[in-house]
Chain A
Amino acid sequence: MLSALPDAIGILLSFEGLSVLVLGTVLGIVLGAMPGIGSTVAVAIVLPFTLTMSQAPAIILLLAVYAGSVYGGSIAAILINTPGTPQSAATCLDGYPMAKRGDAGLALGWATIASVIGGLASAVVLIFAAPQLAAVALEFGPIETFALILLGMTCIVSVSTGSVVKGLMAGMIGIFLSTVGGDPILGEMRFTFDNWQLFAGFNLLAVVIGVFALSEVFVRASAPVSKVSELVAFKGIVLPGWSLWKGRLRNLGKSVLIGNVIGVLPGTGAATAAFISYAEGRRSSPNRERFGKGEPDGIVSSEAANNAVTGGALVPTMALGIPGDAITAVMLATLTLHGITPGPKLVDDNPTLIAAIFAGFFIINLLLLPLGMLLSRVAAPILRVREAFMMTAIVILCALGIYFVRGNPFDLLVMGGAGLVGFLLRRQGFPMAPLVIGMVLGPTLELTLRQGLILTDGSFLAFFTGHPIALVLALAALLALSLPLLRVLRAGKTHE
């Protein structure tokens, strides 16, 4: 593949190559920053344009929009507490408090650097270790994935600010919401009351936007005018200096690793990675006490991991022809339309194309830094409008985004309902992140649990006896749950 690099660079440096690199990344960042337009939709928007392009630029355009949108989601998450994409939901947890404190520029700076490093590292891994990692992906059957998701679920505890009990209840609400619609194993309809609008379940994006963004609007609208806090002051991205990174590199490295590994496993995705990484940061970071109050490590955990997923997700896609998520599935379909058969022989049969794609992916991640800095400046004057206008604009943007995705007015009702429920729950001190985690992880947890039970003829114990990876992950989940308890016990002893 390396011998094909000169030809590949030639493709990238052509007019078509350069323009898709830059325009695709710009478009990705902008679409990702729009609340409601997730990465999948962003990629779908540009898909028709790829049909007339040549092979490499078509895929690079999709990649640029993909990587750009994952990063772009953090801009809205930090500046207006509205995750542009579900994978940025964890970024809100520390990004927004930091922005409210007056450090919006710095918060975006952390997010940008973390995203770039996460993306670049995943590009390197993709280029040099794709075949080896693809073999790892094959080791992860339903049972291993179940254990991984179980571990992911433990982050409900760590993102439950205030009351863990209320956090667990919110998590359960999220899992319950995810069970509405078709049963994944039998196809029966659950909790749909013969209403076909519910056949597909609740739209995840509509719920995420509702409980985060809309409920925030309601909270602000219900506060007495005098108490309304000032909107975020933001003049542009401020990159964190080298000295600020002291003691944070370990967390960064860990987050990149988590993102990469989870990205490689089909059927998980960037939102899962961001939450698991955030939970790990909260467990192990030296600054863990400040998590949830605007701690840079929180932003770094989430953003480095979700961008590292992008390269990871390409591993099984390129090495095995197996798409890891809806976006890589679109890429495979695009390859097919351009007369290329994805599969295990893809890399050997098309060395120049693959070299161009990999090199292009590396450049896209480099471009995130200057383009992110440039584009977020555009947001600065927008944020200076009066709060009432801003809140109205957020509601309209969210509604447009949600409506655009499926063209279904029912999704707007779901968003409104989720906003109202989120508002009421928040007033009672329920954290909203666990609800989103429950809804993101719930379907995979259920599907893999039931798949596993089919494979083991109904024996849950057999999940762990014959599957060492699952056993290790389950033990890690147990440890993650008991760690806070152990800490309390130890602290109690030292006080005596």
Chain B
Amino acid sequence: MKFHHLIAGVLGAAMAATSASAQDFPERPINLIAPFNAGGGTDLLLRGLAPHFAEAIGGDVFVSNMAGGSGTVAASALQGQRPDGYQMAYMSVTVSTIQPQIKNVPYGLDSWTPICSVAASPTLLFVSNDSPFQSVDDVVAAVKAEPGKYVFGSSGPGAITHLTMVSAFAGLGIIDDMKHLPFQGSGPAIKELTAGNIQFFGDTEILMKRGDFRPLMVFNEKRIEGFPDVPTAAEVGIEAPLNELYLWGGLFAPAGLEPEVTATLEAACEKAVASDGFKEFAANSGTVIKYRGAAEFDAFYRAQYEANSKLIEAAGL
């Protein structure tokens, strides 16, 4: 990330930078920050988006990684930066609305200028294909019959996978009779689901397809295309706010960005997300595109922050 400062500094000195006004934006490369490691889902999404974003805005765009602390290290670093539009992070629902409410991080609701939302993916609750559970009712009956026996996994405490499990089982009223086994990342959790050390896991459709798994329920407003027989959370009796869990992500700049710059970035994002190239990338990677403009995304983000505080409370995190 700071690499860009270095380059920008050198370039700036060389060109004896003239007055920077919003009309000239962008006059140097824009940095898109992935708050996770290179090669992860967020990183790949950004790398898929970056060239189309660059084309749309008519300038250079590069992706950098600043992993750590479930995404909070990058967000914490970005919140203190100058709001000039040259640095944005791709933040998910967890980084932007969950982590700041469960951890003591230096950012919160008002730290950002939301630019655009890019993607959204429903999460599913699933079991191994050789599991005896065919429906959520089976699960509830089994857990109540043998409290303390069954284990659900997550990719880490406070991650979307954890919230999926907690929302499901707290919503079904059986979470106190179950054990939570956190892993580091979805890969190891999927392995243990295959091996049988955990019985339940929850993640996106693309991850579920990695193994021989069977979905029991989906967190979405309506049933999803690929699995028309799988009921939604509300259908199996999970009540609000726990049935409103929703995995989304978008670009955020530090708070206080000039409206003209915001508009330029928003327009570029819309064009990039709608481009054929990005659509093809999304189809290949199982990304569900969900674009929202700056104003709409701001309102959505604030509503989610509010809703998720209730979810966190209900889930007992």
With beta carbons under 8 angstroms apart, the residue of B38, B69, B212 that contacts A343 is B212
Contact B284 A196 (CB under 8 A): no
Query: Could you tell me the distance between the alpha carbons of A330 and B38 in the complex, rounded to whole angstroms?
Result: 8
Query: Could you tell me the distance between the alpha carbons of A408 and B66 in the complex, rounded to whole angstroms?
Result: 8
Asked if A179 is at the interface (CB within 8 A of a chain B CB), the reply is no
Asked if A344 is at the interface (CB within 8 A of a chain B CB), the reply is yes
Instruction: Name the A residues within 8 Å of B195 (CB-CB).
Output: 138-139, 141
Instruction: Name the A residues within 8 Å of B192 (CB-CB).
Output: 141-142
Instruction: Name the B residues within 8 Å of A336 (CB-CB).
Output: 206, 284-286
Instruction: Name the B residues within 8 Å of A186 (CB-CB).
Output: 157
Residue among A43, A197, A321, A342 facing the most chain B CB atoms (10 A cut-off): A321
1/0 contact string of A160-184 vs chain B (CB within 8 Å): 0000000000000000000001111
Residues 272 to 317 of chain B near chain A (Cβ within 8 Å): 281, 284-286
Asked if A137 is at the interface (CB within 8 A of a chain B CB), the reply is yes
- Give the distance to chain A from B97, nearest Cβ to Cβ, in Å: 16
Asked if A221 is at the interface (CB within 8 A of a chain B CB), the reply is no
B66's nearest neighbour on chain A, judged by CB, is A406
Contact B69 A181 (CB under 8 A): yes
Asked if B135 is at the interface (CB within 8 A of a chain A CB), the reply is no
Query: Could you tell me the distance between the alpha carbons of A42 and B119 in the complex, rounded to whole angstroms?
Result: 28
Contact B72 A199 (CB under 8 A): yes
Contact A329 B73 (CB under 8 A): no
Take A47-B47, A316-B191, A454-B181 as given contacts and tell me if A407 and B37 are in contact as well, using a CB distance cutoff of 8 Å.
no
Contact B211 A344 (CB under 8 A): yes
With beta carbons under 8 angstroms apart, the residue of B44, B70, B182, B191 that contacts A266 is B191
- Give the distance to chain B from A411, nearest Cβ to Cβ, in Å: 10
Query: Could you tell me the distance between the alpha carbons of A336 and B208 in the complex, rounded to whole angstroms?
Result: 13
B286's nearest neighbour on chain A, judged by CB, is A336
- Give the distance to chain B from A434, nearest Cβ to Cβ, in Å: 24
Contact A182 B187 (CB under 8 A): no
Query: Could you tell me the distance between the alpha carbons of A265 and B197 in the complex, rounded to whole angstroms?
Result: 15
Asked if A480 is at the interface (CB within 8 A of a chain B CB), the reply is no
Query: Could you tell me the distance between the alpha carbons of A447 and B154 in the complex, rounded to whole angstroms?
Result: 13
Contact B66 A51 (CB under 8 A): no
Query: Could you tell me the distance between the alpha carbons of A321 and B193 in the complex, rounded to whole angstroms?
Result: 13
- Give the distance to chain B from A349, nearest Cβ to Cβ, in Å: 12
- Give the distance to chain A from B185, nearest Cβ to Cβ, in Å: 7
Asked if B158 is at the interface (CB within 8 A of a chain A CB), the reply is yes
Residue among B65, B180, B181 facing the most chain A CB atoms (10 A cut-off): B181
Query: Could you tell me the distance between the alpha carbons of A406 and B36 in the complex, rounded to whole angstroms?
Result: 10
Query: Could you tell me the distance between the alpha carbons of A40 and B231 in the complex, rounded to whole angstroms?
Result: 40
Instruction: Name the A residues within 8 Å of B285 (CB-CB).
Output: 336-337
Residue among A186, A200, A322, A338 facing the most chain B CB atoms (10 A cut-off): A322
With beta carbons under 8 angstroms apart, the residue of A200, A266, A321, A329 that contacts B40 is A329
Contact A344 B69 (CB under 8 A): no
- Give the distance to chain B from A71, nearest Cβ to Cβ, in Å: 21
15 other A-B residue contacts (CB within 8 Å) besides A184-B182, A187-B102, A342-B210 = A40-B37, A47-B38, A47-B47, A137-B191, A181-B68, A187-B158, A322-B194, A322-B210, A329-B40, A333-B40, A337-B281, A337-B284, A408-B73, A408-B77, A455-B179
21 A-B residue pairs with Cβ-Cβ distance under 8 Å, sorted by A, are: A47-B47, A51-B47, A182-B157, A183-B157, A184-B157, A186-B157, A187-B103, A196-B72, A196-B106, A199-B69, A321-B190, A322-B187, A326-B39, A329-B39, A333-B44, A334-B39, A341-B209, A342-B210, A404-B3, A406-B68, A454-B180
Interface residues, chain A, CB within 8 Å of chain B? 40-41, 43-44, 47-48, 51, 137-139, 141-142, 181-187, 189, 194, 196-197, 199-201, 266-267, 316, 320-323, 326-327, 329-330, 332-334, 336-339, 341-344, 403-404, 406-409, 447, 451, 454-455, 457
